[in-house]
Amino acid sequence: MKKHLFLFTVLIFSKALVNEVRASLLYPVVVSTWPFLEAVRAAWNAVDGGFSAVDAVVEGCSACEKLRCDGTVGPGGSPDENGETTLDAMVMDGVTMEVGAVAAMRYVPEGIKAAKLVLEYTKHTMLVGDQASAFAISMGLPGPTNLSSVESIEKWTKWKDSSCQPNFRKNVIPRDSCGPFHPNGPSIRRCLMDNELRPNEFGSVNVGLHSHDTISMAVIDQIGQIAVGTSTNGATFKIPGRVGDGPIAGSSAYADAEVGACGATGDGDIMMRFLPCYQAVENMRLGMEPKLAAKDAISRIARKYPNFIGALFAVNRNGTHAGACHGWTFQYSVRNPGMNDVKVFTVHPQ
User: Residue 116 phi/psi, 5° resolution?
Assistant: -65, -35
Count the Cβ atoms, other than its own, within 10 Å of residue 82: 10
**Active site (annotated) includes residue 214:** yes
Q: Which of 86, 214, 236, 265 is catalytic?
A: 214
Catalytic residues: 214
